[in-house]
Amino acid sequence: MKKKAFITGIAGQDGSYLAELLLEKDYDVYGMVRRNSTPENQWSRLDHVNPLITVEYGDLTDVGSLERMLRTIQPDEIYNIAAQSHVRISMDIPQYTVQANALGIVNILEAYRNNCPNARFYQASSSEMFGRSVDEDGYQRETTPMHPTSPYGCTKVFGFNMVQHYRFAYNLFAVNGILFNHESPRRGTNFVTNKVVKSAIEIKMGLREKLPLGNLEAYRDWGHSKDYVRAMHMIINHTEPDDFVCATGVTNSVGDMCKYVFSKLDMDYKDYVTQDPRYMRAEELKYLRGDSTKLRTTFGWEPEYTFETLMDEMIEHWMGIYREDY
């Protein structure tokens, strides 16, 4: 009998790649999406797999929809990937971020406990939970203290702890994947990676003149979403419930990214990139670099993409779109 997987946030970057991976592994895939006034944008990442999956409308803040779907589907695996996931925007809408990410995790954990307690549960935790904490060797790992610097990071710490609580209090197979930044052509264009790539190509084509950004000295550990959803599946299928960091271990600054992308298009980013106070964070998180030794030694996981091949894929994606349009 096929395994059944339920994915919240299935229409997002990670959800769509995870759906593809699980279909390749012969799962029956179910997903939940929030209603959106522009459904053509919401469903675009799923167009190629839409006939093969079952998707219903729901929301992490709506307990009724979660209870109904889990009771009806009876999944073997639950992947909670849905969230208000933009760190900078979480500072503008902290109340909603808490409702979606913190109250939302309680809602789905309760629906899981009450309707399909024999299932396995994966929570998308985040490197933003570490905040200002860095170990002496310059890395963050499972044992690094958590001191988040944004409402988003705070909600993710809450979710991480709630998953552990439900694991131990109710003997549930509930796990956390602490994922560092991961990108792809499917990333939203209000996230810095796709924003830089798309804007650089627009500048190259004469469609815009400048690219305003925030802190160019923010360092991040960037990987590809495809590599990270492979890790999600490994973590949820471990012999026992546990928590794992997923990261490349390589860090680059936003300025490094701009330099690489613009140079690929035969431009100097310094001629076009400006710093805009609107994109600065109230409390800037300057450095993230993950140590995924535990994940690698337990499962043999290794990233297939480097920072450079990730950026190259995103450049090629947007170049293809603009070639078609112009």
Which amino acids are annotated catalytic? 126, 128, 152
Q: How many angstroms separate the first and last alpha carbons of the chain?
A: 49
Contact between 132 and 285 under an 8 Å Cβ cutoff? The reply is: yes
Instruction: Give the C-alpha separation, 108 to 32, whole Å.
Output: 12
- The Cα–Cα gap between 292 and 141 comes to 7
| Six token digits for residue 102 | 């913190």
Max Cα distance, the chain (Å): 59
Burial degree of 262 (CB within 10 A; 0-12, 13-18, 19+):
buried
Q: Say how far apart CA 294 and CA 244 lie, in whole Å.
A: 7
User: In sequence order, what are the beta bridge partners of 182?
Assistant: 223
Quickly tell me which residue has 């990410």 as its tokens: 101
Residues 35/25, Cβ–Cβ less than 8 Å: no
How far apart, in Å, are the Cα atoms of 154 and each of 26, 101, 129, 196, 302? 36, 9, 7, 27, 29
**Which ranges constitute the DSSP H helices of the chain?**
13-24, 39-42, 63-73, 87-90, 94-98, 104-115, 151-170, 192-204, 225-236, 254-264, 293-299, 307-325
299 neighbors 181 (Cβ within 8 angstroms): no
